[in-house]
Chains A and B, each alone.
Chain A
Amino acid sequence: MFVIYGASGDLTRRKLFPALYALAYRRMLPERFAVLGSARSPMTSEDFRKGMEEAVRAHARVEFKQEVWDELAQSTYYVSTEFEDDEGGDRVAEKLKELDHEHGTEGNRLFYLAVPPVAIAMLVHEIGDRRTGEGWARLVVEKPFGLDLASARRLNHEILRHFRENEVFRIDHYLGKETVQNMLALRFANGIFEPLWTRQFVDHVQITVAEAIGIEGRAAFYEKLGASRDVFQNHLLQLVAITAMEPPIDFDADAVRNEKAKVLRAMEVDAVVRGQYGPGYVEGQMVPGYREEEGVDPESTTETYLAAKLRIDTWRWADTPFYVRTGKRLPRRETTIAIHFKRVPQSLFAHADGLRPNVLAIHVQPDEGVSLGIGAKVPGQGMTVRTVNMDFLYGGAFRTGLPEAYERLILDAMRGDPTLFTRADEIEEQWRIVDSFLVRWADQVPDFPNYDAGTWGPVEGDEVLHRDGRSWGRH
């Protein structure tokens, strides 16, 4: 039984149901399966199905087939409830019992909390109190998981009162992306990369998570979070952890998560800057500044950009900085992990202005794939060398559509495989890293806005690298 709390929300419409439909389309849902949506909005199951059909038609990755939808819709239900209300909780529990009987789901439950952070603890309590011990129970929790280290610890404590760690699936959808998982394949399935993946050969690493969009009407949500909590604390730090982790002994969930947790424990912030966008041009269109967005405080100090220099105190990465940045209203949507290798010790070529040190770039989105910048001789007389990018395009090589991150993660959660989900200790380490500068920021009044929409962020973001004689790659 797939139970969605917050079923009338955007996440359910844009991601969860399209992913469930894609799984149904690929015949990957269990035979005995049903979905129960629950939210405050009053509506009938029929209304809910109609809304989800529209959502699937608009957002599903695969073609719409009426017979596939009809089969999924037949097992889709809705219960309207106030989360604070005990009666509401009982209503959901009764409906679940009824559906168990109807669909033969034997008390197996996957609870998906697609609700605002403030509602999570209360729902966990309500769900936990009603656990019967019949069948299995899994809990999927969306980000942000807490707002700082203290609140994340409280939430972990509350969840672990009712669920065991292996029943908890803290979702970071970046880990469900094929290209992020391909990083593991690239590193650990190829003999040529891993030996170079150390401080001896890597000069530094750059990770960019850039968005061209603004806050898209989510002012109330974003004002509380900012770039540090919305992206840095989760997606960015997880990408760093996957890039920097030691080879796990196998691909067992805990083996992988142990290695990521070690990286996070060894990580410190050497420098961090923040920014907020003002008006500017993005993709040819004039867009308003953050403070002019609807619902945003005109004096808001919420950061929409963050750049940091991270230090990982391990034998593998000592003195090898990881520069990371994220922001909204940057020139383009892009997530890239770029491994910048060291220069050759001596340049033998007189005509080599076009030659740069090798860069291995993993393009998480868009243009999913890997590119390697190599020095090559320009054909003709003489010995002019320049950098050529060899691009491996993921979609082109396998000739198949890449599954949406949510398809993979929902399936893993149903199968009980938490490898691609964040463990409690990882979450707490991530918050420790973020808290180290949030405390300082709280006492300072930033001079915002400090970058124009459509640019690569404030000058201070570039200076984080310039101080070390480096600059951001043009990814």
Chain B
Amino acid sequence: MSAVRDQEWTGRDVTIGQIDRALAELRSDAMDLRTSVLTHVAWAPPEWQDAARETLAGMAELHPSRTLLLFPQEDGRDAIDADLSLECYTLAELERHVCSEVIELRLHGRVAQAPASVILPLVLPDLPVFLRWRGQPPFGEPVFEQLVNVVDRLVVDSREWREAPGCYTSLAEIFDRVAVSDIVWARTLRWRRAIAELDSAANARRLRVRGPLQEASLLAGWLRSRLDRAIELDHAAADRIELIELDAREVLAREERPSPSELLSGELDRFSRDPVYEAAASAAL
């Protein structure tokens, strides 16, 4: 497939009805087929906006979807500003093309306190809704709670949190309400595979990790929950995992450097709860 054209529309201080109509107009100009597998919502406070846009680049081809980028704005104006675009791809040997929609909404003032009421009219019919929350979620606060209540899966990256691993306890409290993915957990996959292949893993007592605290905590939580016993964690900070030792024996894993888009893409293929992750996060502290 190759992208053929982008249609765009911008509106300031708009209603959801205007957004709906603008989308319909963009579509009528560009396509008669829309193929979608999900609605992807991303909540990105100002410091995360560029990263959110970057991660999305190329995602539509992998996961045809409607993407809603929510950018809360802290100002006095109660309003919604919107940028809409269509990303279209030609289908091999067909004249028609398939399009995905990207809806970028800047939520001003009190509107930013009621984001669920903004996304509910815009989610695609009968398809799962994934919420990627950039940064540390404000657990227990209405903005976060209302979004969690209307989506099927929450995707976080606990490396973005200021208070990890303490926040894993708060995260564990929502496991019964929404399926959760943590991109940090995906990053530990190659290490978990390597540890599981060790004969001595079943008797492990001590884990040493030089790497981000979140990865270290989840790996320790994983071992604790799988082996059902205490595992001592010896952690030294680093930007990425540089060394793992299990009972003083170095663990070697195949080198993999997935991009942020690939990591998110992997999480968008999951639908049900991940009980192994949930147990690991619950035992991370």
A positions within 8 Å CB-CB of B:
212, 280-286, 331-333, 336, 338, 353-354, 356, 359, 361, 363, 366-367, 371, 373, 378, 384, 386-393, 395-397, 399, 454, 473-475
Contacts and interface: CB of A to CB of B under 8 A. Distances in A.
Interface stretch (B111-119, B190-198, B221-229): B111-119
B31 interface: yes
A373 B78 CA distance: 37
B121 A474 contact: no
Contact of A391 (B17, B35, B123, B129): B35
Contacts of A333: 17, 121
Nearest to B31: A396
B120 A331 contact: yes
Contacts of A282: 117
Given A338-B126, A387-B127, A332 B271 contact: no
A393 B35 contact: no
Interface string B10-52: 0000011100110010011011111111000000000000000
A424 B103 CA distance: 47
18 contacts: A280-B117, A284-B16, A284-B111, A353-B271, A354-B37, A354-B269, A359-B126, A371-B125, A373-B127, A386-B37, A388-B35, A388-B36, A389-B35, A389-B37, A389-B127, A391-B35, A454-B114, A473-B126
B31 A283 contact: no
Given A361-B125, A389-B125, A475-B125, A286 B110 contact: yes
Given A388-B37, A393-B34, A396-B27, A454 B126 contact: no
Interface string B237-271: 00000000000000000000000000000000111
Contacts of B37: 354, 386-389
A41 B50 CA distance: 59
Contacts of A366: 20-21, 24
Interface in B191-247: none
B124 interface: yes
Interface string B92-133: 000000000000000100110011111011111111110000
B126 to A, nearest CB: 5
Contacts of B31: 393, 396
B269 A384 contact: yes
Nearest to A399: B28
- Give the size category of B's interface with A: 35 or more
B80 interface: yes
Given A286-B110, A474-B129, A332 B120 contact: yes
B172 to A, nearest CB: 21
Contacts of B123: 474
A331 B124 CA distance: 13
B169 interface: no
Contacts, number: 118
Counting chain B CB atoms within 10 Å of each CB, the highest count among A363, A371, A399 belongs to A371
Contact of A386 (B16, B21, B120, B271): B271
B126 A474 contact: yes
A454 B21 CA distance: 20
B271 A393 contact: no
A331 to B, nearest CB: 4
A62 to B, nearest CB: 16
Contacts of A367: 20, 24
B124 A389 contact: yes
Contact of A396 (B17, B32, B64, B107): B32
Counting chain A CB atoms within 10 Å of each CB, the highest count among B117, B118, B120, B124 belongs to B117
A373 B36 CA distance: 9
B16 A361 contact: no
B127 A395 contact: no
Given A389-B37, A393-B31, A473 B117 contact: no
Contacts of A371: 125-126
A464 B34 CA distance: 32
B117 A395 contact: no
Nearest to B34: A391
A209 to B, nearest CB: 15
Given A283-B118, A389-B34, 11 more contacts: A282-B117, A283-B15, A359-B126, A371-B126, A386-B271, A389-B35, A391-B33, A391-B34, A393-B32, A399-B28, A474-B123
A336 B271 CA distance: 25
Contacts of B36: 388-389, 391
A342 to B, nearest CB: 16
Interface in B115-162: 115-118, 120-129
A284 B126 contact: no
Nearest to B273: A353
B149 to A, nearest CB: 9
Nearest to A452: B117
A337 B164 CA distance: 46
Contacts of A286: 110, 114
A359 B35 CA distance: 15
Contacts of B269: 354, 378, 384, 386
A363 B114 contact: no
B67 to A, nearest CB: 15
A10 B269 CA distance: 50
B267 to A, nearest CB: 12
A281 B116 CA distance: 9
Contact of A281 (B20, B30, B34, B114): B114
A283 B115 CA distance: 8
A354 B271 contact: yes
B162 to A, nearest CB: 28
Contacts of A399: 28
Contacts of A281: 114, 116-117
A176 B270 CA distance: 42
